[in-house]
Structure 1
Amino acid sequence: MKQIHRDLYTATATPRLLDVPELPCLMFDGSGAPSDESYLDAVAALYGVAYAVRAELKPVVTYSVAPLEGLWDGDPGDLSAMRWTALIPQPAQVTAEIVERAVETVRRKRPGTRLDGLRLGTMNEGRSAQILHVGPFSEEPATVKTLMEFITGQGLALTGRHHEIYLSDFRRTALEKQRTIIRYPVG
C-alpha cells in the first residue's frame, strides 16, 4: 500500500492538502481508550488477518502490510468514552472471500484471537488535510491546532473523523521519536 499510495504515507510538519482515493480496509470498531484490552485485541486481529491476506495474495501481488490507522470520535480528555475504528488499508485485489479465508487461518493458528467484528470495509475520505506529528500522543493538540489553522486558512471545514496513521510502532519506539500522520477530510 505504501508503495502504491506513497503520498498517503508521506507528511511533514507543514500541513498540506491531498486527495485520498477510496480504499478497501480491514476494519474493527470499538470504544474506549487505546490502552484498553478491546483496542489491543482489535489491533492484534487486524494484523493477524492482514498478514494472512498478504500470504494468500502473494502469487498475485507483492506488497508490505500498511501501517495501522485509527479513526477517532469523542473528547480526547476522556479516553474511556472515545469511539474508534482501527483499520489497515488493503490492495484492490482483496475480496470478502479472501478475508473470510484469512480469518479462518487466524482462528486456526491463533485460537482465542478476538475476530468477531472484524470486517472488510471502504474508507472514502476524498479531499483531506494532513500533517506529521513527531512525539508522544499527549503532545498532539499543538499539531492538531496547526492543522486546524491551515484548514480554516484554506476556507475549508472538517467533513469527517480525526484520522491517525501510525508510522512508528508505539510499543517499540521512544515517545519523542514516534511519528504519526494526522489527517482530516475537508470540504
Structure 2
Amino acid sequence: MKKIHRDLYAATAAPALVDVPDLPCLMADGASAPSDPLYLSTIEGMYGVAYAIRAELKPILTYSVAPLEGQWDGDPADLTSMRWTSLIPQPEQVTPEMVERAVNTVRSRKPSARVDGVRLETSAEGRSAQILHTGPFSEEPPTVERLMRFVAEQGLTVAGRHHEIYLSDWRRTAPEKVRTIIRYPVR
C-alpha cells in the first residue's frame, strides 16, 4: 500500500489535499477509550487476520501489511465516549472468504484476540485534507486546528470522521516520536 499509494502515507507538517481512492480494508467497530482492552484486543485480532491473509496470498503476491488506521468520533475530553472504526487496507485480491478463513485461524490460535466483527469493506473517502502530527496524541489539537484552518482557506468543509493513520506503533515508540497522519474527507 505504501508503495502504490505513496501520497496517502507521505504527509508532512504542512496541510495538503489528497485524493483517496476507494480501498478494500479490514474493518472492526467499537466504542471505548483507545487504552481500553476492547480496543487493544481488536487491534491484535485485526493484525492477526491481516497476517493470515498475507500468508494465504504469498504464493501469488508478496507485500507488507499496511499501517493501522482509525476513524474516531465522540468527545476527545471524555475518551470513554469514543466510537471508532479500525482499518487495515488490503490488496484488491482479498475476498470475504479469505477474511472468514483468516478470522477462524486467528480465533483458534489466539483466543485473546478480538476478531468478532472483523470484515472486508471498501473505505471511500475521496478528496481529503491531511497533515502529519509528530508527538503524543494528547498534543494533536493544535495540529487539527491548523488542518481545519487550511480546509476553510480552501473553501472546503469537513465531510467525514476524524481519521488517523498510525505510521508509528504507539505501543512501542516514545510518545514524542509517534508519527500520525490526521486526515478528514472534505467537500
- Which residue pairs with 1:113 in the alignment? 113
Deviations 1:130-151 (A, max 9, x none): 0000000000000000000000
- Which residue pairs with 2:157 in the alignment? 157
Matches within 5 A, 1:159-174: 159-174=159-174
Distance 1:164 1:56 in 2: 28
TM-score by length of 1: 0.98
The offset of 1:103, in angstroms, is: 1.1
3-state SS of 2:28 partner: strand
TM-score by length of 2: 0.98
Matches within 5 A, 1:88-103: 88-103=88-103
- The one-letter amino acid of 1:71's match is Q
4+ residue runs over 4 A deviation: none
3-state SS of 1:149 partner: helix
RMSD over aligned CA atoms reads 0.8
- Which residue pairs with 1:4 in the alignment? 4
Distance 1:30 1:114 in 2: 11
Deviations 1:25-48 (A, max 9, x none): 101100010000110011001000
- Please, which runs of 5 or more residues in structure 2 have no aligned partner? none
Distance 1:69 1:28 in 2: 11
Deviations 1:31-84 (A, max 9, x none): 010000110011001000000000111111111000010000111111100100
- The one-letter amino acid of 2:160's match is G
- The one-letter amino acid of 1:24's match is P
Distance 1:113 1:44 in 2: 5
3-state SS of 1:103 partner: helix
- The one-letter amino acid of 2:184's match is Y
Distance 1:103 1:65 in 2: 16
- Which residue pairs with 2:77 in the alignment? 77
Deviations 1:108-129 (A, max 9, x none): 2223432111111110000000
Match status 1:49 vs 2:49: yes
